Amino acid sequence: MTEALFEDHDSPEMAALRDTARRFAREQVAPHHAQWERDGMVSRDVWRAAGTAGLLCMTTPEALGGAGADFRACQVFTQELGRLGLSGPVFHLHSEIVAPYLVHYGSAAQQQRWLPRMASGEVIGAIAMTEPDTGSDLAAIRTRAVQQPDGRWKLSGQKTFISNGQLADLVIVAAKTQPEKGAKGVSLLLVDTSLPGFRRGRKLEKLGMLAQDTSELFFDDMLLPADALLGEDGRGFGYLMTELPQERLLVALWAVAAMEGAVLWARDWLRERKAFGAPLADKQVLRHGLAACWSDTLAARAFAEDCVCRHIDGRLDSATASALKAWASEMQFSVLDRCLQMFGGWGYMRELPIARAWADARVQRIYGGTTEIMRELVARRLFD
Ligand SMILES: Cc1cc2nc3c(=O)[nH]c(=O)nc-3n(C[C@H](O)[C@H](O)[C@H](O)COP(=O)(O)OP(=O)(O)OC[C@H]3O[C@@H](n4cnc5c(N)ncnc54)[C@H](O)[C@@H]3O)c2cc1C
């Protein structure tokens, strides 16, 4: 038995998409990934290639350049990259986190300006909420946007830990437009990174996700056109809260895919590697250890699948998405750690995918909302 350990129950349409996504992952991403890890970022070419293959902004309506597909399409692409540990190109952030803000809250002009080029891979998107002094507590951000008498916005402040930070052409920036109102004074602005006043800072050195260009961004009294405001003034926090469940679901889908990959790698290793005159797969402690990892992965798949169904039906609430994100990312780290142990010293070598995937896994418990914040959101549902 090979990949059948984790069967995909695809519709014919999704099976065809999986085939495209799998080929793309193996042919256009995997061969370059080690170089991108050394570079600390992926190439622009892979974004164009993903656009050409029709793999970007798949859930964006066709009239805006996307494929008008449902969320399953992005689940399939995430699975195919995640199972191979190809964490460098953050396509899902661009396609299913950034683009939906434009689809849901953008004006027709904003949508036409950005979405077709995001779908083709010509424009790369990022979202900037976190600042050096605040991440979990988004209402405390200090980046300021002040409307000028001529209608333009003056943006000043600093963001950090921004994925796609070096490559981004468009950044959705959370800023205070009415600071006295706290969370109700947060707005979202569309920042064209070719405009004066935008500055990219360091590409940060991380523990894992080495091919991602996580960066600092600076806005030095940057003047943005009046139509840079996304949606309504002061509604930004509400928009973030509405969109975050999908982001959390995506983190969980990556977690499940990573667990699937790790179980398969460990299974193959235990079969091949010999100790004390027999394959490691003969040792009951290891056999049972992997059996437990497989069971945990199946449980995570089932929970995630339930949330995908709810999401497609428009029934995924914030507490359930948070429960899944926390549970799946904690389980991912546990399963990957147990699988890595089965590789002995080789498990610690970055030349093996299990080592890279383990390092990548650590941040899943932090970004998109930490486990502690996720549990707080769940607890509010239970007690408030
Ligand atoms: C690789 C990477 C990529 C990222 N990409 C992006 C991106 O593209 N865009 C973006 O905006 N951000 C991004 N982030 C930022 C990420 O979302 C934040 O790091 C995360 O939300 C936590 O915020 P913080 O780092 O400020 O930690 P803090 O908020 O300072 O939290 C520190 C610790 O305190 C705990 N804590 C905080 N408040 C509470 C509470 N009320 N109760 C209990 N415990 C609490 C936290 O759980 C955590 O353990 C990224 C981060 C990383 C590492």
219-274: per-residue pLDDT in tens?
999 999 999 999 999 999 999 999 999 999 999 999 999 999 999 999 999 999 99
Q: What is the pLDDT of residues 188-208, one digit of tens each?
A: 999 999 999 999 999 999 999
Model confidence at 295: pLDDT above 50: yes
Report the CATH fold assignment for 3-120: Butyryl-Coa Dehydrogenase, subunit A; domain 1 (1.10.540)
Instruction: Give distance in angstroms: CA of 130 to centre of ligand 1.
Output: 7
Q: What is the pLDDT of residues 321-333, one digit of tens each?
A: 999 999 999 999 9
Residue nearest to atom 7 of ligand 1 (CA): 162
| Cβ neighbours around 121 below 10 Å, total | 23
Model confidence at 365: pLDDT above 50: yes
What residues are paired with 192 via a beta bridge?
Answer: 170
**Beta carbons within 8 Å of 332's beta carbon, 6+ residues apart:** 255, 256, 258, 259, 300, 361, 364
Assigned architecture for domain 125-234: Beta Barrel (2.40)
Model confidence at 166: pLDDT above 80: yes
Distance CA 221, CA 223 (A): 6
For residue 123 the two structure tokens come to 């424009």
Nearest to 131 by CA among 210, 186, 193: 186
CATH code for the domain defined by 238-383: 1.20.140.10
Query: Residue 163 CA: which ligand 1 atom is closest?
Result: 8
Mean pLDDT, the chain, integer? 97
247 is catalytic: yes
Query: Residue 93 CA: which ligand 1 atom is closest?
Result: 8
Of the residues 131, 216, 247, 260, only one is catalytic, namely 247
Distance CA 91, CA 42 (A): 11
Which residues line ligand 1 at a C-beta cut-off of 6 Å?
126-130, 134-136, 161-163, 206, 209, 214, 363, 366-367, 369-370, 372-373, 376
Model confidence at 1: pLDDT above 70: no
Model confidence at 289: pLDDT above 90: yes
Helix, strand or coil for residue 129?
Answer: coil
Instruction: Give distance in angstroms: CA of 236 to centre of ligand 1.
Output: 18
Sign of CA dihedral 10, 13, 15, 18: negative
Query: Residue 174 CA: which ligand 1 atom is closest?
Result: 11
Residue nearest to atom 24 of ligand 1 (CA): 135
Please tell me the predicted confidence (pLDDT) of residue 371.
98
**Residue ranges of the domains in the chain?**
3-120, 125-234, 238-383
Please tell me the predicted confidence (pLDDT) of residue 2.
45
**Beta carbons within 8 Å of 63's beta carbon, 6+ residues apart:** none
Please tell me the predicted confidence (pLDDT) of residue 4.
79
Instruction: Give distance in angstroms: CA of 310 to centre of ligand 1.
Output: 26
Of 1-5, 51-55, 316-320, minimum mean pLDDT range: 1-5
Q: How confident is the model at residue 21 (pLDDT cuts 50, 70, 90)?
A: very high
Instruction: Give distance in angstroms: CA of 257 to centre of ligand 1.
Output: 23
In contact, 187 and 145? CB cutoff 8 Å = yes
Model confidence at 42: pLDDT above 90: yes
